């Protein structure tokens, strides 16, 4: 049973004295009051400056041990950093870009909370810190607030480590529930007009850059997936491109975002241009390359894209705008949610609706006219049926009025 001990005094060896306790050799040294309890059959203790604090600790120990929620001393010293290594190793099967984003988030967490025992983490403190995070690129002099997506990733990493701690019974309650995570703000991305798309294609510095833009626009694949196409992924007979891999920022191949393969349709002039692009290449060669025959790296494509946007007079437009524009075009052409989901490579239709659902709003304008047309057609059918019934009735009545010739 937990109890409090006075370290500054000891039992009086003089049994004849009225004083039951006298000063010990530790008098005036360190904290006076020691809470003592048992864990796994061994005595454990913790010192406090006041008797009230020690007794409060003993009460906490007693309640925790009775309820089965007490964190033993061997687990109280486990830090977030102790959990980080096994957790990130468990993610080795994920896409390289996903693992890289976890490591980037951990770079923010480690200096602040890495050495903090998990049992001492406080939810409000963590969320306040995440909200205040700043970043600075090497070429920038001033810091600026971290984006909502990056802040959310930091929260996801801490939350995952705390969940692991709960699973291993290092703690019994996650201080950072998923509801406390920063919500990622939806980007204010717009669909390009046809004239803007045409200007982009006109200012493309090379045929390879123009083809890359058209593939992103018309197939709805992610930029990394487009970079990962091999010649053998193009099926001319079936008019399909098979998405099997993705390429990271440095041009290294890896799995797709959700580790799934899919086919996307290809038609029109793009089909013929991709057929020409395959000429003279081996099946495993990259299908889409820069003018030097190399796989597009993120750095090189960003430079090309920035110049294209400047020359086309477009501002605030990133590469993903092409996908957004392509989805808008597909919806306008009558594509349903399931078709868009398959082409985009989303795990389920809810993801598609969360990102692109507003684009279907444009179809709302056609609903009133369609309903009016439906009502008019139904009225015409009802009137036609009534007229036919009247004509049949008139014919029957006419037949009854004719006298028998016999």
pLDDT in tens, 61-103: 888 777 777 777 777 788 999 999 999 998 887 777 788 889 9
What pLDDT score does 361 carry? 61
Render pLDDT for 95-151 as a digit per residue (tens, 0 to 9).
Answer: 777 888 899 999 999 999 999 888 888 888 888 888 888 775 555 566 777 777 788
Q: Residue 167: how many CB atoms within 10 A of its CB? A: 9
pLDDT at 400: 66
pLDDT(1) > 90: no
pTM of the model: 0.57
CB under 8 Å to 387, separation ≥6 — which residues?
none
Domain 80-180 CATH class label = mainly alpha
Domain 194-362, what architecture? Orthogonal Bundle (1.10)
Q: What stretch(es) of the chain map to CATH 1.10.443.10?
A: 194-362
Angstrom distance (rounded) from CA 22 to CA 389? 117
Q: How far apart are CA 327 and CA 306, in angstroms?
A: 22
Q: List Cα–Cα distances, 225 to 128, 290, 296, in angstroms.
A: 37, 15, 11
139-197 tens-digit pLDDT: 556 677 777 778 888 888 999 999 998 888 888 788 877 556 656 555 567 888 889 99
Distance CA 41, CA 144 (A): 53
In total, the chain counts a number of residues equal to: 406
pLDDT score of 41:
75
- pLDDT band of 288, cuts 50, 70, 90: very high
Q: Which two tokens stand for residue 396?
A: 């029957």
CA 328, CA 343: separation in Å to the nearest integer?
A: 13
**What is the per-residue pLDDT across 4-14, written as a single tens digit (0 to 9) for each?**
999 899 888 88
**108 vs 118: CA distance, rounded Å:** 17
Determine phi and psi for 176, rounding to 5 degrees. Answer: -125, 85
> What is the average pLDDT across 303-316?
92
In the chain, list all ranges with CATH 1.10.150.
Answer: 80-180
């Amino acid at each position: 049973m937990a109890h409090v001990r006075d370290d500054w005094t000891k039992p009086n060896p003089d049994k004849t004295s009225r004083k039951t306790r006298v000063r010990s050799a530790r008098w005036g040294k360190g904290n006076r009051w020691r809470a003592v309890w048992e864990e796994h059959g061994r005595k454990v203790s913790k010192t406090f400056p006041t008797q009230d604090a020690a007794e409060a600790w003993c009460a906490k120990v007693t309640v925790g041990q009775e309820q089965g929620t007490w964190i033993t001393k061997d687990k109280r010293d486990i830090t977030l950093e102790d959990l980080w290594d096994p957790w990130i190793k468990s993610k080795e099967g994920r896409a390289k870009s996903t693992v890289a984003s976890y490591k980037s988030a951990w770079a923010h967490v480690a200096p602040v909370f890495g050495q903090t025992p998990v049992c001492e983490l406080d939810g409000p403190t963590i969320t306040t810190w995440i909200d205040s995070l700043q970043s600075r690129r090497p070429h920038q002099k001033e810091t600026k607030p971290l984006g909502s997506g990056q802040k959310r990733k930091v929260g996801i990493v801490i939350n995952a480590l705390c969940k692991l701690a709960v699973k291993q019974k290092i703690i019994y309650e996650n201080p950072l529930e998923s509801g406390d995570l920063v919500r990622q703000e939806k980007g204010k991305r717009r669909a390009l007009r046809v004239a803007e798309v045409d200007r982009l294609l006109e200012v493309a510095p090379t045929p390879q850059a123009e083809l890359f833009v058209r593939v992103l626009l018309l197939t709805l694949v992610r930029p990394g997936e487009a970079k990962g196409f091999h010649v053998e992924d193009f099926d001319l007979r079936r008019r399909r491109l098979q998405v099997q891999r993705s390429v990271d920022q440095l041009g290294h191949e890896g799995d797709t975002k959700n580790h799934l393969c899919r086919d996307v349709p290809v038609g029109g002039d793009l089909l013929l241009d991709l057929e020409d692009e395959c000429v003279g290449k081996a099946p495993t060669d990259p299908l889409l390359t820069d003018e030097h025959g190399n796989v597009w790296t993120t750095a090189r494509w960003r430079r090309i894209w920035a110049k294209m946007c400047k020359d086309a007079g477009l501002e605030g437009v990133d590469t993903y705008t092409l996908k957004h524009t392509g989805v808008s075009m597909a919806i306008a052409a009558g594509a349903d949610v399931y078709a868009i989901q398959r082409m985009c490579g989303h795990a389920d239709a809810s993801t598609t609706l969360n990102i692109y659902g507003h684009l279907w709003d444009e179809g709302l304008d056609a609903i009133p006219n369609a309903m009016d047309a439906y009502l008019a057609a139904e009225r015409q059918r009802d009137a036609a049926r009534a007229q036919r019934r009247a004509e049949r009735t008139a014919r029957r009545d006419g037949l009854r009025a004719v006298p028998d010739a016999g």
